[in-house]
């Protein structure tokens, strides 16, 4: 072996990096060409939270070589077919979905134009997909037998993040990744700023060629040792805390396992609700500038509906932003040490997955490649960060809520990114379409390029290349949050009634006949226990 990767920090990001890099570079241990060692502190408390994912997780599992049912069993996992947003547009219990599938009957995408030309009596999401109905009905995206329904529905997963990390740890060690339990006490740099070796509290020196910083917000390598700063983005996303709680099914089973993630807007933020096989994970993401911690916890427990005195909660503090450069010298930050954006669109594991995938594809096999690979890595990861930032910023700034100061402020002009403002201005003239993401340079767009001086940073403005969300995803949110009305595109008098395409109705009728409920599939295929219904939390129907 001629190169060694040293990963500092375990958890989801560390073990995802170890598993993916081993899968990609070493063919899961079958053709080892790179040595991988992960150093994990035995003293840092482990955080067990429910995680929702996006479609990229299935690519990750395929590269690592983990089957779907094995993954679901070991992580208490379940299916995610959409995110359901409640009380985001108005505080009136109204909801909309951001699903994974959309129907289009034409060679050219004219779905939004057709819907806008009607009286819009059917919400946009229901007009162009049956997946919202599957969510309403609590159906699984899988049949119990062989699939015979034509094109499959797309889906991601919910899971226990700690069990996911444990599974990846066990697989990685079995396939040749070295696991060292120790605390890093010193980072020794070379004259050129590269990391030479690490010292640990077990009197061990660890040398390597590439060092991956997965030490969370502490950023022990990239910031403490190498001095790479943090770009604060809290101006665009005001939330900075989350109070979390697990709600076990043995005493709190609501009668179903929703096949989607729920994001319910509360007074000063929103609450995630992630269903797994044995419990729900809920967490109130909020701004400490607008609500006291005790009041936030009371609001979270009220959402659950009472009888939660025996359930413990935990507060997570976070900062929204990104590392000025994720790759400095021979050190690459992945996970919280590189960036953080609140998990409204389930992007936490996505950004860790992406960082590992990018490193694998830009792996420097010699020092001459290092600067070129770092330059491209930093550029692409920066673009992806801003793409996620804009998309989540959009959910806040399109709200029509005025019931609290928080919701009034998040929609003001000063808290909308300049890139998103330019998108809105352009999409006022035409609905989002694929070529809008060719370079994201719209007429009149003017914002300041990066002022960070480094040969590894591209100072050009970041662009949105639709790496995770394209025009369809933007349409889901825009036209569920009445974007068409913001610029005077109101409903026409005597517009034809909205009618769902027959193909969608046919698809829905078939799904009702052939698809089991989500809970039934989990029980019969994975052995999920059958729980007795306790009661339904607030907002459940």
Could you give the residue numbers annotated as active site?
80
Q: How far is CA 417 from the centre of its chain?
A: 20
* Helical pair 518-526 and 68-75, crossing angle rounded to 10 deg: 100
Beta bridge partners of 139: 517
**What does residue 264 show for φ and ψ, rounded to 5 degrees?**
-105, 120
Which 3 state secondary structure label does DSSP give 446? coil
CB 381 within 8 A of CB 354: yes
Rounded (5°) CA angle 234-238-241: 100
What strand order describes the sheet that includes 82-86? 95-99, 82-86, 261-266, 269-275, 279-286, 241-248, 313-317
- State the Cα–Cα distance between residues 323 and 382, nearest whole angstrom: 9
Q: Is residue 470 exposed (0-12), middle (13-18) or buried (19+ Cβ within 10 Å)?
A: middle
Q: What is the DSSP string of 68-109?
A: HHHHHHHHT-EEE-EEEEESSSSSSS-EEEEES-----SSS-
Closest by alpha carbon to 153, among 130, 127, 137? 130
| Distance between start and end Cα atoms, the chain | 58
Q: Which tokens is 358 given?
A: 């990018």
How far, in whole angstroms, is CA 358 from its chain's centroid?
17
Q: What is the C-alpha to C-alpha distance for residues 85 and 264, in angstroms, rounded to an integer? A: 6
Q: What is the DSSP string of 474-512?
A: HHHHHTTTTHHHHTT-PPPTTPPPP---HHHHHHHHHHH
Strand, coil or helix: 329: coil
Token pair 């403002």 in the structure block, residue: 421
């Amino acid at each position: 072996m001629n190169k060694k990767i040293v990963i500092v920090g375990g958890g989801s990001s560390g073990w995802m990096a170890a598993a993916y890099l081993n899968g990609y570079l070493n063919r899961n241990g079958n053709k080892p060409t790179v040595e991988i060692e992960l150093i994990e502190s035995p003293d840092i408390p482990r955080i067990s939270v429910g995680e929702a994912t996006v479609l990229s997780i299935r690519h990750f599992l395929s590269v690592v070589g983990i089957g779907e049912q094995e993954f679901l069993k070991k992580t208490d996992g379940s299916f995610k077919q959409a995110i359901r947003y409640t009380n985001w547009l108005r505080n009136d219990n109204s909801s909309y979905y951001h699903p994974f599938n959309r129907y289009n009957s034409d060679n050219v995408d004219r779905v939004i134009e057709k819907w806008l030309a009607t009286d819009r009596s059917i919400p946009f999401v229901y007009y162009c997909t049956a997946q919202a109905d599957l969510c309403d009905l609590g159906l699984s995206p899988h049949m119990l037998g062989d699939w015979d329904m034509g094109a499959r529905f797309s889906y991601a997963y919910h899971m226990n993040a700690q069990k996911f990390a444990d599974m990846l740890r066990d697989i990685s060690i079995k396939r040749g990744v070295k696991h060292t339990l120790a605390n890093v006490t010193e980072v020794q740099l070379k004259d050129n700023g590269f990391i030479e070796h690490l010292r640990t509290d077990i009197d061990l020196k660890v040398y390597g060629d590439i060092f991956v910083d997965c030490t969370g917000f502490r950023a022990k390598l990239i910031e403490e040792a190498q001095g790479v700063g943090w770009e604060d983005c809290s101006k665009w996303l005001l939330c900075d805390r989350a109070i979390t709680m697990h709600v076990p099914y043995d005493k709190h089973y609501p009668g179903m396992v929703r096949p989607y993630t729920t994001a319910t807007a509360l007074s000063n933020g929103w609450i995630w609700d992630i269903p797994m096989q044995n419990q729900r994970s809920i967490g109130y993401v909020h701004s400490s500038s607008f609500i006291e911690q005790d009041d936030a916890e009371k609001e979270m427990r009220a959402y659950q509906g009472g009888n939660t005195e025996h359930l413990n909660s935990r507060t997570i503090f976070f900062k929204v932003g990104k590392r000025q450069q994720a790759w400095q010298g021979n050190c690459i930050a992945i996970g919280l040490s590189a960036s953080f954006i609140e998990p409204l669109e389930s992007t936490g594991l996505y950004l860790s997955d992406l960082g590992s995938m990018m490193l694998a594809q830009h792996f420097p096999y010699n020092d001459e490649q290092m600067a070129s690979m770092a330059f491209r890595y930093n550029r692409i990861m920066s673009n992806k960060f801003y793409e996620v930032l804009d998309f989540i910023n959009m959910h806040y700034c399109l709200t029509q809520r005025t019931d609290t100061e928080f919701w009034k402020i998040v929609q003001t002009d000063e808290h909308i990114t300049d890139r998103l403002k330019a998108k809105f201005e352009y999409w006022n003239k035409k609905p989002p379409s694929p070529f809008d993401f060719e370079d994201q340079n719209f007429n009149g767009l003017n914002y300041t390029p990066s002022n960070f001086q480094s040969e590894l940073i591209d100072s050009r403005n970041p662009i949105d290349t639709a790496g995770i969300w394209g025009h369809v995803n933007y349409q889901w949110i825009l036209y569920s949050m009445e974007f068409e009305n913001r610029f005077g595109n109101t409903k026409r008098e005597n517009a034809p009634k909205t009618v769902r395409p027959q193909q969608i109705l046919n698809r829905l009728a078939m799904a009702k006949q052939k698809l089991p409920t989500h809970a039934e599939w989990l029980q019969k295929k994975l052995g999920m226990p059958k729980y007795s219904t306790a009661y339904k939390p607030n907002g459940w129907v």
